[in-house]
Amino acid sequence: MADIFVILPDGSRRTLPAGATACDLAADIGPGLAKAALIADIDGVAVDLSAPLADGQQVSIITADSDAGLETLRHSTAHVLAQAVLDMYPGATYAIGPPIEHGFYYDFDLPGGATISDEDLAAIEARMREIIAADQPFERHEASAAEGLELFAAHPYKREIIETVALAADAGKGGQSADELAEEVVGDGRISYYRNSDSFIDLCRGPHVPSTGRLGHFKLMSTAGAYWRRDAGRPSLQRVYGTAWASRQDLAAHLHRLAEAEKRDHRRLARELDLVSWPADLGPGLAVWHPKGAAVRRVIEDYSRRRHDEGGYESVVTPHIARSELWETSGHLDFYRESMYPAMELDGATYYPKPMNCPFHMLIFKSRQRSYRDLPIRMFELGTVYRYELSGAVHGLMRSRGFTQDDSHIFTTREQAPAEIASLVAFVLSVLRAFGFDSFDARLATRPVGKSVGEDAEWELATEALRDALQAAGLDYELDDGGGAFYGPKIDIDVQDAIGRSWQLSTIQVDFQLPERFGLEYVGADGKRHRPVIIHRALMGSIERFFGVLIEHYSGAFPAWLAPVQAAVLPVAAAHGDYAEEVATHMRNEGFRTEVVEAQEPLGRRIRATKLQKLPYVLVVGDDDVAHGTVGVNARGSDGDERGVPLETFVSRLAADVQAHR
């Protein structure tokens, strides 16, 4: 039999006997690769290792080091989950089970509407480990749709998938439904399925790892409800989420990250550090700010105002409610109504709480005639808005029903807009960096198909301006095709926090629509009237979310410039109380946030209690300090303490920290 050759990723050729599989190729390259191999990529198509090779193909062997390999590992683990659940719950049926970020899920319909509790997960996981220990092969088979319907006769969701595939094939098109079903089917009207054992098969496009023994670094995480095909009108299924990784170390690292994230949860820290609370009597998504939370907020807002002053913005203030006519003009009643709080009837008029500040700023622009010489006009407001978020979407400070935007609207000429956007991106990044964020993800969202207004040329121009600004700022960005607002394209900027999570904060949106709706005009150099362009911009997004992200970013240990209490003063004994007050008063006069913890309890206990509040500095004062005008400095994160530091020396040090945003 003639040999064949295949081309490896490095361009080299390798000769194999005819009939060789990808698995043989891996073994031929080396035993290490053979052991690590999960699937193969043949001419750009991911396939099982058992796939036969043909002459001249480009082949690469895929391991768990790559995204594709890890995805396969997760997908295969999902199949093991399905086998375990079907095994343990007679009469249960299964829907779909794709890989997702960090792991996988699988949706089930259990007999009699049974549910899976967290306790059940341990038992399911144990069964999964048995299946993995049995090292069952993933055997690929293909069949016609008719055969598939017979194979999965007892499983209505699988049958529905097969029927949809058959329909799509009949219609002779791939289309949207085929995309959705990509995980389960081949796509040409035939189906593929994988057999693990005599009793377990699963409809699947594949590929899969060679056998269940290749899996094992996984953990079932949680259960949730989910609709079949994401449709609230369809049956509700039990979803089981799991995480899966290439190695024990990766799994442990992931679980560690989750534990860290939980420790940093701003809802927990907000309570422990007495920053913010959500009294049930207020209703979901509405927070009250306690003195310590409000102290941090004030620093955030003061800094924001200062930067805006320096950046050529003018502060404005607008009311919280407005008559329905305003919202009709702005289009919010047409486009945003379901997110607005309901109307209030008053003196024969209808008022709505504001979900956005924009229309008010339009009215300020319109209050007098504007010249091109006035532009750009940059209005800034810490504007509190109310949005009727779905109750299930509300999440601490990250997603509230009442929140304050650091909102601005910039009115420019068309010619000025590109430069204005470019400087805006730089401004946004500069402010975010000042709060300790240095890693950003940006998205450029373009014109939504169908539901948008304006001329193509305008959209093109604005999108290019946004793109140029991103490039000028040196920001990598993803394209969110069709993700723009109905009135214009936008840039969203996410920050990455200390443990690598992404949070959406800033948004910069170009708007052609509101100037039209409000009939905004300025007089140009030519003496004629022109429409300005509006740039909407929220920098921190909302002060609430920004604060929540800061809490999680710093794990509650705010840098000195933000900390609600910058230094606590602890007298060693009651006799040093007066000196402690003197020290505190002096520091307050210097502009620092200071509190005294009186000597009503032993020093060690007070130090512990104060340390748990994560303050930047704990100052201890005793006999020596009273005698010499010094303090004992215990800095957060340092080992031990420094004795006999002159008060002025400490004040300078704290001032330097604040200055440097440490």
Partner RNA sequence: GCCCGAGUAGCUCAGUCGGCAGAGCAGCUGUCUUGUAAACAGCAGGUCGCAGGUUCGAUUCCUGUCUCGGGCUCCA
CB of 15 to RNA, least distance (A): 47
Tokens of 90: 């007679």
Count of other CB atoms within 10 angstroms of residue 513? 18
Q: Which is nearer to RNA, 22 or 431 (CB)?
A: 431
Q: Which is nearer to RNA, 194 or 245 (CB)?
A: 245
SS3 state at 391: helix
What amino acid occupies position 115? T
Strands 567-571 vs 617-621: parallel, antiparallel or unpaired? parallel
SS3 state at 430: helix
Separation CA 460–CA 468 (nearest Å):
12
Determine which one of 41, 407, 492, 511 is catalytic: 407
CB of 522 to RNA, least distance (A): 27
Strands 642-646 vs 103-109: parallel, antiparallel or unpaired? unpaired
Specify whether the backbone of 437 is left (phi greater than 0), alpha (psi in -120 to 50) or beta. beta
CB of 479 to RNA, least distance (A): 16
State yes or no: is 536 an active-site residue.
Answer: yes
CB of 510 to RNA, least distance (A): 14
Q: How many angstroms separate the first and last alpha carbons of the chain?
A: 72
State yes or no: is 409 an active-site residue.
Answer: yes
Determine which one of 409, 537, 545, 576 is catalytic: 409
Determine which one of 74, 75, 387, 401 is catalytic: 387
CB of 494 to RNA, least distance (A): 8
CB of 619 to RNA, least distance (A): 7
State yes or no: is 204 an active-site residue.
Answer: no
State yes or no: is 490 an active-site residue.
Answer: yes
Burial class (CB in 10 A: 0-12, 13-18, 19+), 543: buried
Count of other CB atoms within 10 angstroms of residue 466? 30
Q: Which is nearer to RNA, 480 or 521 (CB)?
A: 480
Determine which one of 159, 401, 536, 576 is catalytic: 536
Ordered strands of the 533-538 beta sheet: 314-315, 377-386, 402-412, 533-538, 502-511, 490-496, 440-445, 477-480
Separation CA 655–CA 662 (nearest Å):
10
Determine which one of 358, 530, 613, 657 is catalytic: 358
Q: Which is nearer to RNA, 353 or 541 (CB)?
A: 541
Q: Which is nearer to RNA, 476 or 639 (CB)?
A: 639
Number of residues that this document lists for the chain: 662
Q: Which is nearer to RNA, 122 or 232 (CB)?
A: 232
Determine which one of 57, 83, 238, 405 is catalytic: 405
Q: Which is nearer to RNA, 285 or 418 (CB)?
A: 285
Instruction: Please report, for residues 3, 7, 63, 489, the alpha-carbon distance to residue 15 in angstroms, rounded to integers and kept in the order given.
Output: 6, 9, 22, 53
CB of 90 to RNA, least distance (A): 19
Strands 45-48 vs 37-42: parallel, antiparallel or unpaired? antiparallel
Helix then strand then coil, % of the chain, to nearest 5 = 40, 25, 35
**Angle at the Cα of 615 from the Cα atoms of 610 and 620, rounded to 5 degrees:** 55
CB of 370 to RNA, least distance (A): 27
Q: Which is nearer to RNA, 400 or 412 (CB)?
A: 400
Separation CA 378–CA 361 (nearest Å):
10
State yes or no: is 263 an active-site residue.
Answer: no
Catalytic annotation, residues: 358, 387, 405, 407, 409, 490, 536
